[in-house]
């Protein structure tokens, strides 16, 4: 098979699979996780390799599978120049970060968790850049928000890590929602959610009425993710993450995702005045604010964080210009920023690692202790400052050039070259500060331990990145030119404009601006003390406080609204539900003037039905009257359940009758288990108004329901049941329509339901785990409990009954496909069979004999159910299609074997597991309080 037919999804999904392996490997060996992650990344890279030449030959590789074609949703991947550039950045820098993290993380940190998160994040990023379907792109976008949340909060014991992660998640998550909206608008405008169509429909999109809303929504996503003003404040707080995470997220990946969207949709969205104002404006403001704030940060990572914001602003500004050459510069700066910023973050991590602090006021003179690291830092910082012969210089020159060109548009635009020069000047100043305050000046003596060079291998990733900075800076045409050209071709989806990566363009305006920025920046650094004093004097906006205040405000609002309707009382809640449905019914039937009864003749009633019906009504009435005596009402409500079951039999719904009967038994056991710890009598309702209100609601809604039922049942109506009745045998191979619907026609619903059931069972189990409640020592009248824990007659008889009950369960299970029964009912019967052993013989006795862990039953059931579906998928049918074949077995005779029976087995196991697990866990609540002899009280 041709690898080029399916390698892209593998590249994306491999890290997700690898994450599980990494987590597992860390159990065997502390460093196993790191090596596994490195291997997985290399493997992804290797899988990508065969398709690398395609974009260089102007080919776009697209691999598509159907997902939900009706909704325009395809499982679809795309590799063009832009995607290739980003994929390579993500994988290569990811590899370096993994290498670095292996040395960075201390013995106390859980390696498996870290590398598993990192790999999942890597996969999500790859998914964004390689997606062809924009909805799929948003899905991976959301995954990056979630996985970056996990990474930022990796040190969960630190408050600032948790808060920073929450903030990042809230901001980027909200942006993701906006992005989804924008993508849907785009897709609806173009009529397709495939990038190929969207990118080709730029003129249509720009002329469309929805252009502006779509643009704003997409930009909201971009600006939140890429930390553009006014959403930039989450990024510095995300610095609470371990440094390898910062190096990865804030150089090549997370924040570049927003930039990637700008580049990706550049042909579709750019070139309008709205684009220029919004994108360029946000970029310019972010560029300046970031650079200005970075200068005053004392924390190395804080400085780098704001510098990242500033450089992201720079890239955004370049895209905002909207010209092709500006896009070239933007793409170029993406590469350059990724290399120098990743290396600087790693240097900051090394300094932190070796000195125990990142505060520049406490650092100094480190060049004496770690000359190698210092040299690397100097080169990388020089690249960040835009010093000639380094990569940062080239892209900064291009920015200055673009600013000069753009300044000719209007008078106001004349400010542009000035503002970008100021930004350049500030970036020189903070780069100089980063180096001078850390590596030069007097060594400080109050450090935790004497600094020294880190392990040799920890510096290798930095070495590599810095060499790239130099190589690109000195020989751009030989190194970066081909990939840049390819990436630009992918971005513009058009001919690449002529651009020159030469270092020397002669004495022109950009060079003057560069020189001004360099000299001004150094001068600014020398005057920094005065500047710091000035900065200290004025008030600073603490975005975190505003963020938390507004978050609290939203929560309070939500709580106020909720409390209006939900006072934590069942009475209140059900009164609302009933009142609203009553109102809806009254409004709905306000204009109804047909007759109450339809044409279908009313059947005659026999005496027996009347008697049984009256019995049910009487029991229901007595339940209400005796509701304060909880035990007695429980006995009486048993009659209501019984009568309903008889009703189901009478009106030809045997499946329902069987279900009702088994549920009835389980319910009594459940309620009694709970009642043991609850008051035996309900308090008397003294509020007269509420009493009358409830009586009125109950009466009117009861009458309403009766009238509704009467009018529906006396009319002929077409329901979907005809379809199921006709197709049950030919389509599902079973004559029991109810069961065929459950396991075949609506198998997917059933799968969802058993998942919910499994979750509920596990949830009850874990919520009650380790909880013990004081058990009452005597009954309602103050009599002591009977000392006979397990009456002998009961024990003996129930043990005899166990195989009989299980046999009934098996019988009901096997015949379920054709006659009343099935996995659900059989599961309930088996549960009751087991529960009764717990009742009669006690938990300990039963547990030593029934050594099945119900967790396994639940898990196995789900696995079987899903596997059935997957097997059918593998055979080319839709998920959960049922196959069946009639076989002739000796002795048994004609027997029909349907794949649905395997699915039904899954249902059976989940029902048994969840029911027994939760009931026994409830029973165990008082288990330890029986340990002593409670009888002696």
Partner 1 sequence: MLDTVLQIALAAVALAMLLSAWRLIAGPSKPDRILALDTLYINTIALLILLGLWLDSALYFEAALLIAVMGFVGTVALSKYLLRGDIME
Helix (H) or strand (E) segment spanning residue 893 = strand 893-898
Helix (H) or strand (E) segment spanning residue 752 = helix 747-768
* Residue placing its CB nearer to partner 1 in the complex, 56 or 631: 631
Structure tokens at 383: 């690249």
Q: Does 619 bind partner 1 (CB under 8 A)?
A: yes
Select from 305, 292, 428 the least CA-distant residue to 358: 305
Footprint (CB under 8 A) of partner 1, residues 736-795: 775-776, 779, 785-786, 788-791, 794
Q: Does 826 bind partner 1 (CB under 8 A)?
A: no
Q: Does 636 bind partner 1 (CB under 8 A)?
A: yes
Q: Does 802 bind partner 1 (CB under 8 A)?
A: no
Structure tokens at 676: 């043991």
Q: Does 923 bind partner 1 (CB under 8 A)?
A: yes
Rounded CA gap, 911 and 827, in Å?
5
Nearby residues of 442 by Cβ (< 8 Å), 6 or more positions away? 364, 365
x/- string (CB under 8 A) for partner 1, residues 664-683?
xx--xx--xx-xx-------
Structure tokens at 644: 């309903």
Residue 260 has phi, psi (to 5 degrees) of -60, -40
Q: Does 847 bind partner 1 (CB under 8 A)?
A: no
* Residue placing its CB nearer to partner 1 in the complex, 410 or 778: 778
Question: 674-700 burial by CB neighbour count: b if 16+ within 10 A, else e?
Answer: eeeeeeeeeeeeeeeeeeeebeebeee
Interface region with partner 1, contact rule CB under 8 A, candidates 83-91, 96-104, 712-720, 805-813: 805-813
* Residue placing its CB nearer to partner 1 in the complex, 336 or 841: 841
Structure tokens at 810: 């098996």
Query: What DSSP string runs through 248-306?
Result: HHTTTSHHHHHHHHHHHTHHHH-SSHHHIIIIIHHHHHHHHHHHHHHHT--BHHHHHHH
Rounded CA gap, 367 and 379, in Å?
14
Q: In 3-state terms, what secondary structure has residue 776?
A: coil
Q: Are 486 and 401 in contact (CB under 8 A)?
A: no
* Residue placing its CB nearer to partner 1 in the complex, 76 or 633: 633
Give the chain's radius of gyration (CA, Å): 35
Using alpha carbons only, what angle is made at residue 867 by residues 864 and 868, rounded to the nearest 5 degrees?
85
Q: Does 607 bind partner 1 (CB under 8 A)?
A: yes
Interface region with partner 1, contact rule CB under 8 A, candidates 16-24, 230-238, 612-620, 881-889: 612-620
Q: Considering the complex, what minimum distance in angstroms separates the CB of residue 722 from partner 1?
A: 21
Rounded CA gap, 102 and 38, in Å?
10
**How many residues of this chain interact with partner 1, rule: CB under 8 A?**
69
Rounded CA gap, 106 and 354, in Å?
12
Q: Does 805 bind partner 1 (CB under 8 A)?
A: yes
Q: Does 920 bind partner 1 (CB under 8 A)?
A: yes
Alpha helix locations (H) across 538-596?
543-565, 570-588
Interface region with partner 1, contact rule CB under 8 A, candidates 279-287, 594-602, 762-770, 924-932: 924-932
Footprint (CB under 8 A) of partner 1, residues 367-396: none
Rounded CA gap, 169 and 162, in Å?
10
State the sign of the Cα–Cα–Cα–Cα dihedral 269, 270, 274, 277.
positive
Interface region with partner 1, contact rule CB under 8 A, candidates 34-42, 112-120, 636-644, 684-692: 636-644
Q: Considering the complex, what minimum distance in angstroms separates the CB of residue 921 from partner 1?
A: 10
Q: Does 645 bind partner 1 (CB under 8 A)?
A: yes
DSSP state of 629: B
* Residue placing its CB nearer to partner 1 in the complex, 309 or 658: 658
Question: 706-717 burial by CB neighbour count: b if 16+ within 10 A, else e?
Answer: eeeeebeeeeee
Q: Does 658 bind partner 1 (CB under 8 A)?
A: yes
Binds partner 1 (CB under 8 A): choice among 570, 611, 800, 891: 611
Q: Considering the complex, what minimum distance in angstroms separates the CB of residue 638 from partner 1?
A: 5
Binds partner 1 (CB under 8 A): choice among 533, 604, 652, 719: 652
Binds partner 1 (CB under 8 A): choice among 19, 239, 757, 832: 832
Cα separation of the two ends of the chain: 78
Q: Does 854 bind partner 1 (CB under 8 A)?
A: no
Rounded CA gap, 811 and 805, in Å?
10
Interface region with partner 1, contact rule CB under 8 A, candidates 195-203, 230-238, 613-621, 885-893: 613-621
Q: Does 662 bind partner 1 (CB under 8 A)?
A: yes
Q: Considering the complex, what minimum distance in angstroms separates the CB of residue 621 from partner 1?
A: 10
Binds partner 1 (CB under 8 A): choice among 488, 738, 829, 907: 829
Q: Considering the complex, what minimum distance in angstroms separates the CB of residue 857 from partner 1?
A: 19
Alpha helix locations (H) across 365-449?
371-385, 391-406, 415-439
Interface region with partner 1, contact rule CB under 8 A, candidates 167-175, 361-369, 507-515, 652-660: 652-660
Q: Considering the complex, what minimum distance in angstroms separates the CB of residue 906 from partner 1?
A: 23
Q: Considering the complex, what minimum distance in angstroms separates the CB of residue 786 from partner 1?
A: 5
Q: Considering the complex, what minimum distance in angstroms separates the CB of residue 634 from partner 1?
A: 8
The total of other beta-carbon atoms located within 10 Å of residue 494's CB is: 10
Interface region with partner 1, contact rule CB under 8 A, candidates 53-61, 341-349, 637-645, 759-767: 637-645
Select from 677, 685, 675 the least CA-distant residue to 631: 675
Burial tier of 437 (Cβ tally within 10 Å: 0-12, 13-18, 19+): buried
Q: Considering the complex, what minimum distance in angstroms separates the CB of residue 749 from partner 1?
A: 25
Q: Considering the complex, what minimum distance in angstroms separates the CB of residue 823 from partner 1?
A: 15
Interface region with partner 1, contact rule CB under 8 A, candidates 357-365, 432-440, 466-474, 802-810: 802-810
Structure tokens at 195: 């990038």
Interface region with partner 1, contact rule CB under 8 A, candidates 232-240, 247-255, 327-335, 654-662: 654-662
Q: Does 630 bind partner 1 (CB under 8 A)?
A: no
Q: Considering the complex, what minimum distance in angstroms separates the CB of residue 624 from partner 1?
A: 13
Rounded CA gap, 491 and 487, in Å?
6
Q: Are 119 and 40 in contact (CB under 8 A)?
A: yes
Q: Does 812 bind partner 1 (CB under 8 A)?
A: yes
Q: Does 194 bind partner 1 (CB under 8 A)?
A: no
- How many residues does this entry show for the chain? 937
Interface region with partner 1, contact rule CB under 8 A, candidates 22-30, 219-227, 697-705, 834-842: 834-842
The DSSP bridge partners found for residue 889 are 893
Binds partner 1 (CB under 8 A): choice among 116, 379, 835, 905: 835
Interface region with partner 1, contact rule CB under 8 A, candidates 42-50, 577-585, 657-665, 880-888: 657-665
* Residue placing its CB nearer to partner 1 in the complex, 585 or 654: 654
Rounded CA gap, 62 and 534, in Å?
56
Q: Residue 639: how many CA atoms within 13 Å on its side-chain side?
A: 16
Interface region with partner 1, contact rule CB under 8 A, candidates 59-67, 301-309, 475-483, 644-652: 644-652
Residue with tokens 């704030």: 293
Rounded CA gap, 625 and 731, in Å?
50
Q: Considering the complex, what minimum distance in angstroms separates the CB of residue 810 from partner 1?
A: 12
Binds partner 1 (CB under 8 A): choice among 443, 520, 842, 859: 842
Binding site for partner 1 (CB under 8 A): 607-608, 611-612, 615, 618-619, 622, 631-632, 634-636, 638-639, 642, 645-646, 649, 652, 654, 657-658, 661-662, 664-665, 668-669, 672-673, 675-676, 775-776, 779, 785-786, 788-791, 794, 798, 801, 804-805, 808, 812, 819-821, 829, 832, 835-836, 838-840, 842-843, 919-920, 922-924, 926-927, 930
């Amino acid at each position: 098979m041709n690898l080029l037919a399916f390698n892209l999804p593998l590249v994306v999904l491999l890290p997700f699979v690898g994450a599980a392996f990494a987590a597992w490997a860390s159990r065997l060996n502390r460093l196993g996780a790191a090596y596994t992650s490195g291997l997985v990344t290399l493997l992804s890279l290797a899988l990508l390799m065969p398709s690398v030449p395609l974009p260089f030959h102007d080919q776009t590789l697209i691999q598509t599978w159907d997902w939900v074609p009706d909704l325009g949703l395809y499982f679809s991947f795309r590799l063009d120049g832009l995607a290739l550039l980003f994929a390579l950045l993500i994988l290569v820098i990811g590899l370096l970060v993994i290498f670095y993290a292996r040395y960075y993380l201390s013995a106390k940190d859980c390696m498996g968790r870290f590398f598993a998160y990192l790999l999942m994040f890597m996969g999500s990023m790859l998914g964004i850049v390689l997606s062809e379907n924009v909805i799929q792109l948003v899905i991976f976008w959301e995954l990056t928000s979630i996985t970056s949340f996990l990474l930022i909060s990796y040190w969960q014991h630190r408050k600032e890590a948790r808060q920073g992660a929450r903030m990042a998640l809230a901001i980027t998550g909200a942006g993701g929602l906006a992005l989804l909206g924008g993508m849907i608008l785009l897709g609806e405008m173009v009529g397709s959610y495939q990038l190929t169509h969207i990118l080709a429909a730029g003129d249509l999109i720009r002329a469309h009425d929805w252009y502006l809303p779509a643009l704003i929504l997409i930009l909201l996503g971009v600006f939140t993710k890429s930390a553009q003003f006014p959403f930039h404040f989450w990024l510095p707080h995300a610095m609470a993450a371990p440094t390898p995470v910062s190096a990865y997220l804030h150089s090549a990946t997370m924040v570049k995702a927003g930039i990637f969207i700008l580049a990706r949709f550049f042909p579709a969205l750019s070139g309008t005045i709205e684009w220029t104002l919004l994108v360029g404006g946000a970029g310019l403001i972010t560029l300046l604010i970031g650079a200005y704030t970075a200068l005053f940060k004392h924390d190395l990572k804080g400085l780098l964080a704001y510098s990242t914001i500033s450089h992201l602003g720079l890239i955004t500004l370049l895209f905002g210009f909207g010209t092709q050459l500006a896009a070239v510069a933007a793409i170029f700066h993406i590469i350059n920023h990724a290399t120098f910023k990743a290396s600087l973050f790693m240097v900051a991590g090394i300094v932190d690692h070796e000195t125990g602090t990142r505060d520049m006021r406490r650092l100094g003179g480190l060049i004496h202790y770690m000359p190698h690291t210092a040299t690397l830092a100097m080169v990388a910082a020089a690249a960040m400052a835009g010093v000639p012969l380094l990569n940062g210089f080239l892209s900064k020159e291009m920015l200055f050039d673009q600013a000069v060109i753009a300044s000719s548009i209007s008078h106001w635009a004349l400010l542009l070259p000035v503002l970008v020069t100021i930004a350049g000047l500030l970036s020189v100043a903070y780069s100089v500060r980063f180096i001078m305050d850390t590596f030069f000046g007097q060594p400080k003596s109050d450090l935790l331990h004497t600094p020294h060079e880190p392990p040799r291998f920890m510096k290798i990733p930095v070495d590599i990145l810095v060499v790239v900075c130099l190589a690109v800076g000195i020989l751009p045409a030989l190194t970066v030119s081909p990939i840049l050209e390819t990436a630009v071709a992918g971005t513009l989806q058009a001919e690449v404009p002529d651009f020159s990566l030469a270092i020397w363009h002669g004495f022109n305006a950009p060079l003057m601006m560069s020189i001004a920025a360099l000299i001004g920046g150094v001068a600014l650094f020398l005057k920094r003390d005065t500047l710091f004093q000035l900065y200290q004097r004025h008030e600073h906006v603490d975005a975190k406080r505003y963020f938390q205040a507004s978050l609290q405000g939203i929560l309070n609002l939500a709580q106020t609204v909720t409390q209006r309707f939900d006072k934590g009382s069942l009475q209140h809640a059900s009164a609302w539900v009933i009142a609203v449905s009553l109102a809806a019914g009254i409004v709905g039937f306000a204009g109804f003037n047909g007759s109450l009864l339809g044409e279908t003749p009313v059947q005659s009633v026999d005496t027996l039905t009347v008697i049984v019906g009256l019995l049910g009504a009487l029991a229901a009435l007595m339940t209400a009257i005796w509701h304060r005596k909880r035990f007695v009402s429980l006995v009486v409500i048993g009659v209501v359940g019984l009568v309903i079951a008889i009703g189901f039999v009478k009106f030809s719904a045997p499946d329902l009758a069987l279900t009702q009967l088994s549920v009835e038994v389980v319910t009594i056991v459940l309620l009694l288990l709970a009642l043991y710890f609850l008051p035996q009598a309900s308090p008397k309702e003294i509020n007269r108004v509420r009493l009358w209100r409830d009586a009125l609601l109950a009466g009117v809604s009861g009458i309403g329901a009766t009238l509704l039922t009467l009018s529906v049942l006396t009319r002929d109506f077409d329901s979907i049941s005809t379809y199921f009745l006709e197709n049950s045998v030919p389509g599902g191979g079973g004559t029991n329509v109810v069961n065929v619907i459950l396991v075949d026609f609506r198998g997917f619903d059933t799968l969802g339901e058993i998942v919910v059931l499994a979750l509920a069972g596990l949830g009850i189990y874990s919520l009650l785990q380790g909880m013990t409640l004081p058990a009452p020592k005597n009954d309602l009248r103050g009599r002591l409990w009977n000392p006979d824990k397990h009456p002998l007659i009961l024990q003996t008889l129930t043990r005899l009954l166990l195989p009989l009950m299980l046999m009934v369960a098996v019988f009901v299970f096997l015949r379920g496909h054709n006659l009343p029964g099935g996995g659900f009912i059989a599961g309930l019967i088996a549960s009751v069979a087991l529960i009764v052993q717990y009742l009669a013989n006690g938990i300990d006795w039963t547990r030593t004999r029934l050594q099945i862990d119900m967790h396994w039953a639940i898990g196995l059931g789900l696995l079987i159910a899903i596997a059935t579906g997957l097997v059918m998928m593998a055979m080319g049918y839709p998920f959960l299609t049922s196959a069946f074949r009639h076989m002739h077995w000796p002795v048994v005779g004609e027997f029909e074997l349907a794949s649905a029976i395997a699915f039904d087995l899954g249902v059976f196991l989940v029902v048994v597991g969840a029911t027994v697990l939760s009931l026994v866990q409830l029973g165990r609540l008082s288990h330890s309080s029986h340990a002593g002899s409670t009888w002696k009280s």
